[in-house]
Amino acid sequence: MPAPHSGLNDKLSGVKMYLDVPGFQFNDSMDPNALQAVEEALTCFKAIVLFKNYEIKGDADRLLIYLVLYIHRCLMELGQTKPSKDAAAKQLETLAIQCTVIPGDSSFPLSAFYKTGYPGDFSQYMERLRKETNKRLIEKVYLESPSAPSKWWLAFAKRKFMNQQLKNSRM
């Protein structure tokens, strides 16, 4: 079975690029592809996290990799405390701000897949991306009950995509 790849690889014409990572709009006039990128990551997370190798077939795959690593980090956080839905939303909001390791940093776990020298607003873009991912992840993880996260989602926190995990901050 081949690893899932982003369906957005062929839809990047006219999209702002941060070197080799697509920069979709996360504001009032949100780009539908931005939502698709987050939904893709959530949909294929359980399958892609099982892979130890991954071939990048386009720049949207780089965004997918980052989101998979971030989702894994979120699930690790939720698995440690198993908070209610409201508490989880606050916990992940804090994580979105504290998780400052992004592609281009020397401490980023898969830095070999990314270029270096991203522009200054790239870190703000990545934070907005993390916050949007949080909203959608919370809805999936707490679909069955608002009092506890789904054990079926938390089980995947034990798996690491390409044996890597995202740290909270630059070191």
CATH number for position 145: 1.10.1760.10
Kindly state the helix (H) or strand (E) to which residue 18 belongs, with its residue range.
Answer: strand 16-18
- Indicate whether 7 belongs to any domain: no
CA distance to 110, 139, 144, 145, 147, per residue, from 67 (Å): 12, 16, 23, 24, 25
* Residue whose tokens read 């938390």: 154
pLDDT at 171: 43
How many domains are contained in the chain?
Answer: 1
Domain span holding position 62: 16-163
Q: Is the dihedral of CA 20, 53, 170, 89 positive or negative?
A: positive
Q: Is the dihedral of CA 136, 10, 61, 23 positive or negative?
A: negative
- Indicate whether 98 belongs to any domain: yes
pLDDT tens-digit map of 137-158: 999 999 999 999 999 999 999 9
DSSP for residue 113: G
pLDDT tens-digit map of 5-27: 999 999 899 899 999 999 988 76
pLDDT at 134: 96
Residue 29: band (very low, low, confident or very high) from pLDDT cuts 50, 70, 90: low
CA distance to 32, 85, 89, 114, per residue, from 39 (Å): 11, 19, 18, 22
